[in-house]
With several copies, the nearest count.
Chain A
Amino acid sequence: MVGEMLITVRFFASYADSLGLARTQLALDSGARVSDVLASVAQLPGATAIPKIPRVAVNHVFADIDTILQTGDEVAFIPPVAGG
C-alpha cells in the first residue's frame, strides 16, 4: 500500500473511559499530521469527551497539531494531568 502509514493511537484516564478504548491503530496517507488523527478520532463514539484541541504527544513528547507523522508513530491523547 504505497502512501499509507500505520499510526498507533493511545487514550488514557477519562478519555479512555469515554471511548471505551485505550489503544487503536489508524491507517493514514503519508504526510498526514496530528490534526488528521484528531479528525479521525472525532468520529469515534464517546469522542465528545475529548476537547477540539486536546493536549497530544507524539512518541512520548508533547507535540502540536501541525506535527507531520511517520509510519509507526505513537500519538497519545493526554487528558488534564493530575499527578503529584
Chain B
Amino acid sequence: MRAAVVTNPIDVGSLILEVADDLHGATAIFIGTVRSTNEGREVREIEYTAYEEMAEREMSVILAEAGRAYEGAVLVAEHRIGLLAVGEASIAIAAAHGRRACALDALRYVIDEMKSRVPIWKREVYADGSQSWVDPTRVTAT
C-alpha cells in the first residue's frame, strides 16, 4: 500500500511489479492520461497542482479503505503534478488480488474516491493560449 504525489513521469511497469505477488493471480491497472480535447476545446497541456501533504494522506486513506473492503488486496497509487503534455499519464493505480472481481472492484473504488476526495486540481492550457481551472462539479453544455 503506497500512495504518492510525484513530479517525474509515472512508470506503470514498476507499479505492476510493486503489487505483483505469487499468491495473487489478478492485477488490475488504471491509467489516466491527458486528452487532446475537453468539452470541444483543443488542450495543449495541463498543469496539475496539489495540496501535497493532504493529497498523499487522503490517497493513503483511500487505499487502506479499499484494502479493508477487498481483504488481501495489494494496492499502489501515484498522481503526478506539474505541467503534463497530451498523452502523458497523470494518474496510475495498480490493484492485485487472488480473485479478479476483487482486483477490479478495488481498482474502481480507488479511482472513484481519488477523483472525488484527493485535493488535486488541474488548469487546462488551450491551443489559443488561454487557460482555466477545471471544475467537475460545474454542469456544462456538452
Contacts and interface: CB of A to CB of B under 8 A. Distances in A.
Interface of A: 10, 12-14, 17, 57, 60-62, 76, 78-84
For the complex, would chain B's binding face be called helix, strand, loop or mixed by DSSP majority? mixed
Size category, B interface:
20 to 34
Contacts of A81: 115-121, 136
A12 B119 contact: yes
B135 interface: yes
Nearest to A14: B133
Interface centre among B117, B120, B121 (most CB of A within 10 A): B121
27 contacts: A10-B51, A12-B49, A12-B119, A57-B119, A60-B53, A61-B54, A61-B57, A78-B51, A78-B119, A79-B133, A79-B135, A80-B136, A80-B138, A81-B118, A81-B120, A81-B136, A82-B121, A82-B133, A82-B136, A83-B50, A83-B55, A83-B118, A83-B119, A83-B121, A84-B91, A84-B111, A84-B120
Contact of A13 (B32, B49, B53): B49
B117 to A, nearest CB: 7
Contact of A83 (B114, B133, B138): B114
Given A14-B133, A14-B135, A83 B51 contact: no
A83 B53 contact: no
A57 B53 CA distance: 12
